[in-house]
């Protein structure tokens, strides 16, 4: 089998083109959907504790037809232009799918944050804001956390922006600590949104084997939170993986003990469990574990042409961004496996980021119950609207893209800004 070169942005463009074709959009509107508004690259020169380094940094502003650019910033060695552009395009669609008034953007710094001290990370965070300052702002482009960035990093970025502008501007960035205007419920929003989507999916037809067995790739904040939420609903977490290894037990893992272990800074393959039937394997074997629901919650391109045929799950819930390649998706659909796409599943994070932005702008803060109820309403409605677009011959991803692209196209046409 020949290996297919993986170009993340090309994959997203293919999804956009298919949706545009099904919607009979004009060539002019389609072109606007396929090209980023602005691709911004900067070099961050940082004096670290080990010496001076120069880091590549990006801010891709994809589309703002429906509102200000919105999207996270990741600190990751693989945060190249194609990946960040793909994520920015996906954000544009995602915000439209859940019908919040934002466009799509994404940022990245090419670095491994594990190699830097906290002081170094603060310098990188502040340098990022300084470098992109002319292009960021409350009504322009609102950053947020992403892979390996945290509420603390958002706090440094907010402080740098406020120093530069001389004004208190909590709505400049989301995913902040609550003490600086962050929203209650933001830390669990991505996972909680995914659980509402899965809940709606499971209402369709005969899908309720009891108890459902779930495998989760990635045991960071989103993966660990979704594990705890699903256990609370009576499901069994039978396999979890981090970048070092997979731990599996078909009778169910103790996810609370696993999370305590993770928070202590250790990898899963160092976990010593009271469950004598726990088995350990390499980090990719979680994908081919015997289970009902597979949740990729790590990085993109996890499920590929190479491993798709071995997947035994009945449904894949994409908590990560772009985790299933197009070639893999074709194989999985042929096998009768449903894939609920990232542009719907993981939108809970940006929904509550939107709520955070609204609260900051009004300086009127909601309690956690209010945030949770509004998130639940939004996510269940979005699933229903995607389902309405789905036909016998279209996948969930095609239906979601059709919904999102139709809303984007409507805004583009109304503006006439070709």
The answer to whether position 152 is within a domain reads: yes
The answer to whether position 106 is within a domain reads: yes
Residues 85 and 206 in one domain: no
Mean pLDDT of 176-204: 96
Mean pLDDT of 398-404: 98
Residues 210 and 304 in one domain: yes
Q: 35: how many CB neighbours lie within 10 A of its CB?
A: 13
Query: Is the pLDDT confidence value at 418 over 60?
Result: no
**Contact call for residues 173 and 329 (beta carbons, < 8 A):** no
272 or 188: which carries more pLDDT confidence? 188
Residues 153 and 288 in one domain: no
Separation of alpha carbons 232 and 225, rounded Å = 11
Give me 301's structure tokens. 């391109």
**Per-residue confidence (pLDDT) for residue 6, from 0 to 100:** 72
Model confidence pLDDT, tens digit, residues 2-46 = 445 678 899 999 999 999 999 999 999 999 999 999 999 999 999
The structural domain count of the chain equals 2
Segments forming the whole domain that contains residue 340: 189-345
Residues 154 and 225 in one domain: no
**Contact call for residues 239 and 251 (beta carbons, < 8 A):** no
Separation of alpha carbons 378 and 381, rounded Å = 5
Residues 207 and 288 in one domain: yes
Residues 128 and 238 in one domain: no
Query: Is the pLDDT confidence value at 1 over 80?
Result: no
Query: Is the pLDDT confidence value at 385 over 90?
Result: yes
Reported as a pLDDT band with limits 50, 70 and 90, residue 417 is low
The answer to whether position 394 is within a domain reads: no
Choose one of 313, 345, 377: the last residue of a domain: 345
Residues 104 and 166 in one domain: yes
Mean pLDDT of 117-135: 98
Calculate the average pLDDT of the chain: 94
Q: Say what the pTM is.
A: 0.94
Across-strand partners of 109? 57, 75
Residues 194 and 63 in one domain: no
Query: Is the pLDDT confidence value at 208 over 70?
Result: no
Residues 166 and 235 in one domain: no
Strand 338-340 versus strand 315-317 pairing type:
parallel
Mean pLDDT of 306-332: 95
Cα 255 to Cα 170, 244, 252: the distances in Å are 35, 17, 9
Choose one of 171, 201, 219: the last residue of a domain: 171
Residues 316 and 278 in one domain: yes
Residues 218 and 154 in one domain: no
Choose one of 145, 171, 197: the last residue of a domain: 171
273 or 378: which carries more pLDDT confidence? 378
The answer to whether position 216 is within a domain reads: yes
The answer to whether position 382 is within a domain reads: no
Strand 246-248 versus strand 279-281 pairing type:
antiparallel
The answer to whether position 178 is within a domain reads: no
Here the CATH number for the domain that contains residue 134 is 3.40.50.10860
Residues 121 and 260 in one domain: no
Reported as a pLDDT band with limits 50, 70 and 90, residue 206 is low
**Contact call for residues 191 and 225 (beta carbons, < 8 A):** yes
Here the CATH number for the domain that contains residue 286 is 3.40.50.720
- Active site positions, annotated: 106
The answer to whether position 312 is within a domain reads: yes
The answer to whether position 30 is within a domain reads: no
């Amino acid at each position: 089998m020949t290996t297919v070169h993986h170009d993340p942005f090309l994959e997203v463009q293919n999804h956009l083109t298919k949706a545009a074709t099904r919607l009979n959009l004009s060539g002019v509107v389609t072109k606007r959907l396929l090209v980023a508004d602005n691709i911004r690259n900067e070099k961050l020169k940082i004096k670290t504790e080990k010496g001076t380094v120069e880091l590549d940094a990006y801010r891709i502003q994809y589309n703002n037809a429906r509102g200000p650019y919105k999207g996270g910033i990741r600190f990751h060695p693989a945060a190249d232009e194609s990946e960040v552009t793909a994520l920015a395009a996906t954000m544009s669609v995602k915000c439209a799918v859940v019908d919040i008034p934002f466009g799509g953007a994404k940022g990245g710094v090419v670095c491994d944050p594990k190699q830097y001290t906290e002081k170094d990370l603060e310098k990188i965070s502040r340098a990022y804001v300084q470098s992109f300052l002319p292009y960021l702002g409350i009504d322009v482009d609102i950053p947020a956390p992403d892979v390996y960035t945290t509420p603390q990093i958002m706090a440094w970025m907010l402080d740098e922006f406020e120093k530069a502008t001389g004004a208190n501007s909590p709505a400049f960035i989301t995913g902040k600590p609550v003490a600086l205007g962050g929203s209650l419920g933001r830390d669990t929003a991505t996972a909680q949104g995914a659980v509402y989507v899965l809940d709606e999916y499971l209402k369709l037809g005969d899908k309720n084997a009891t108890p459902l067995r779930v495998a989760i790739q990635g045991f960071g904040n989103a993966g660990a939170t979704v594990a705890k939420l699903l256990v609370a609903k009576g499901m069994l977490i039978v396999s979890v993986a981090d970048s070092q290894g997979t731990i599996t037990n078909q009778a169910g893992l103790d996810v609370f003990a696993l999370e305590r272990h993770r928070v202590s800074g250790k990898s899963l393959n160092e976990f010593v469990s009271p469950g004598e039937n726990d088995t350990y394997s390499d980090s990719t074997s979680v994908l081919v574990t015997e289970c009902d629901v597979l949740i990729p919650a790590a990085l993109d391109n996890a499920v590929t042409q190479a491993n798709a045929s071995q997947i035994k799950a009945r449904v894949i819930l994409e908590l990560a961004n772009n985790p299933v390649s197009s070639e893999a998706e074709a194989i999985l659909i042929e096998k009768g496996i449903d894939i609920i796409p990232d542009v719907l599943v993981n939108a809970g994070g940006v929904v509550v980021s939107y709520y955070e932005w609204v609260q900051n702008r009004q300086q009127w803060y909601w309690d956690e119950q209010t945030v949770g109820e509004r998130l639940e309403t939004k996510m269940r409605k979005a699933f229903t609207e995607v389902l309405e677009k789905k036909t016998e011959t279209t996948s969930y991803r095609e239906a979601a893209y059709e919904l999102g692209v139709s809303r984007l196209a409507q805004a583009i046409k109304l503006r006439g800004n070709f």
